[in-house]
Chain A
Amino acid sequence: MTSIPYIVVDKGLITINEGILINLPTEFFSVAQKSFYAGAKSGWHRCPLGYQTFSVLDALGRKIVFPGILDASQPSPNRKFPNHPLRFSRIQIEKYAASHLDIFEKIREQRDAEFRNLTHDLRAISTEIYHGSLNIRESVERALPADSSEIQSKVDLIINAQSMMSIRLDIIDYESGLTSGRPQDYIQPYPKVHKVLRCFDGKLKARRITWKIEGQCRREILGPSIFEIVPFVIVENALKYAPHGSNILVRFEEKENEIIIRFESLGPKIKDSEKNKIFDRDYRGESVRNSSQTGSGIGLFAAKTIAESHFKGRIFVNQFDAEYWDDGECFYETRFTVVLPTQDSSQNRR
């Protein structure tokens, strides 16, 4: 909050922030005015009402607009408001904007540092849980070689929950732009997909959804250690939209220079016109828009971005015509295909 009103324009989305001490008449936030604020370039401009407007970019690339300034040294406005509250010179507003952007930036840096420390601590806890569980498993196997299956299955639940936590921390890092520095590494997709399915085991069982992987694949892909997010998003979607008691089938296929991974499950209708759009940021298909389902908050947009930008692959969806009815709802066999170029680490081993 600031003493005077300001507007944030972020990727075309306009947010109006009222001032604590001073506010503007509603005419300054009409559709025409908003359209002007959205399009205004950095610096000083005269708005449709004839008042001065100062725009500046913050450290995140968002446009901050200070509207409705009445500067006595500039031409009179088209429309006058009695006792107009924002009577300041350009220099006063520029200094005010600079000091507030500075404060915002310091707060953001502090918050980001706290956030990084938090994820760092959570990873440390996650690591302790994981290795502690493995050590319990080892000890139980030694102490009860004949029948340790019940304890082992409980330990597996802890490990699966830890895997979920680890991937979610990756998602947080990814969404915060903190995975950009991760170096390239050779990754085998098969164990990653298997790990993701295992970590959903409890949730899938609760909905009596079974899963299976067909085919083998030992080949590698090259990219940062965020590949798990791709199968995570797809399996999470399948879990959200597939009917109780259905199946998720993942099929691996190796081609000359590619790995093809197909995720097949039942899902609601995706119209032909939506098959590309579902990979857009914040897009939800017509059939699922009214659904109360929530998830990790990361969408197919992230899966597509990671597959394409980080692994030079591609991802697309197909749906087949056969209808499956369950509890009065119609489902269709839905296949997400991820195609990834393979890399041979032995060629580059130094």
Chain B
Amino acid sequence: MFEKLFSYRQIRELERSQTFASLKSDRDRRGLVPIAVIDDEAFAAQQTLTNNGYNIKALGDIKTLDEVEPYNIILCDLQGVGRHLDGKNQGAFLINEIKRNSPEKFVIAYTGGALSDDITARANETADSFLRKDADVQEWRDKLDDYIERVSNPIIVWRRQRDALVRKNVATLDILKLEDAFVKSVQKRDPEIFGRISGSYDIKDDARAIAQSLIASGIFKLLVG
């Protein structure tokens, strides 16, 4: 029994994605990670960020969460979006839903409003970070480069996934099996391994549901390869 436990691969066996690390310039890295923007108005920073090499996709106000499925970094305005889903909580509702369904995604809330609004207070509970609408370009770059770095780091990606599994009270043994599959997938550059294990009969439904989003992203195209 114990021998079996010790045979599971652990996240510390991994290093940062070699493919991503080999890219020399920030611009190269920025271009590889598409960033979704949820905003009911024109996104003022779009041209500036595009000029800085970021791959920005303005989605407008989304109707379903499927629209953000391909993105691992999401910028979400807090006011005016998601009204048809939850008129009271607006952007905070969207952020909460995205994080509930896809805990591995990074969601950065941005707002021009005072940050003690009810909506902001609610978003603060789930968003990974905040930016003011009128933040300067250096702040945007620092924030986005940081999150691009995180989505390409398998250790961070797995830890977030594991935290979500723990919060859902998934059994430790199931988490160990998923971690083993995640490590094998990254090492062998084959997202199917993780997909097979998490879809297998001995992983419980709750763990499988949380892992589903990671599988759908092809473990984010094998960490931005």
Contacts and interface: CB of A to CB of B under 8 A. Distances in A.
B133 interface: yes
B61 to A, nearest CB: 16
Interface stretch (A176-184, A285-293, A294-302): A176-184
A178 B117 CA distance: 8
Contacts of A124: 44, 112, 133
B56 to A, nearest CB: 12
Interface stretch (B124-132, B178-186, B190-198, B217-225): B124-132
Contact of A183 (B44, B117, B124): B124
B11 interface: no
A195 B116 contact: no
Interface residues of A, number: 35
Chain A binding surface SS class:
helix
A116 B134 contact: no
A127 B124 contact: no
B185 to A, nearest CB: 21
B163 interface: yes
Interface string B43-65: 01101100100000000000000
Nearest to B129: A185
Interface stretch (B25-33, B136-144, B168-176): B136-144
B121 A181 contact: yes
Contacts of B160: 350
A135 interface: yes
A116 B117 contact: yes
Contacts of A121: 112
A226 B51 CA distance: 27
Given A128-B44, A350-B156, A183 B116 contact: no
A225 interface: yes
B21 interface: no
Nearest to B137: A134
Contacts of A349: 146, 150, 156
A120 B79 contact: yes
B133 A181 contact: no
For chain B, the bracket of interface size reads: 20 to 34
Given A116-B113, A123-B112, A176-B114, A181 B134 contact: no
Contacts of B48: 131, 134-135
A126 interface: yes
A251 to B, nearest CB: 21
A308 B51 CA distance: 38
B89 interface: no
B47 A131 contact: yes
B116 A179 contact: yes
B222 to A, nearest CB: 21
A127 B115 contact: no
Given A130-B136, A188-B142, A178 B115 contact: yes
A180 B137 CA distance: 24
B116 A181 contact: yes
A168 to B, nearest CB: 11
Contacts of A345: 146
A247 interface: no
Given A135-B48, A181-B120, A181-B121, A225 B132 contact: yes
Interface centre among A176, A188, A225, by most chain B C-beta atoms within 10 angstroms, is: A225
Contacts of A225: 130, 132, 135
A126 B114 CA distance: 15
Contacts of B159: 350
B47 A135 contact: yes
A137 to B, nearest CB: 10
A131 B116 contact: no
Nearest to B138: A191
Nearest to A167: B134
B51 A138 contact: yes
B134 A123 contact: yes
B112 A195 contact: no
Contact of B116 (A180, A185, A350): A180
Contacts of B114: 116, 119-120, 173, 176, 178-179, 181
A127 B44 contact: yes
A251 B142 CA distance: 23
B134 A126 contact: yes
A127 B134 contact: yes
Interface in A134-181: 134-135, 138, 162-163, 166, 169, 173, 176-181
A185 B131 CA distance: 10
A83 to B, nearest CB: 50
8 contacts: A119-B113, A120-B79, A124-B112, A131-B44, A166-B136, A179-B115, A183-B130, A345-B146
Given A182-B130, A349-B146, 8 more contacts: A116-B117, A119-B112, A124-B44, A131-B47, A134-B137, A138-B51, A183-B124, A191-B138
Interface of A: 116, 119-121, 123-124, 126-128, 130-131, 134-135, 138, 162-163, 166, 169, 173, 176-183, 185, 188, 191, 195, 225, 345, 349-350
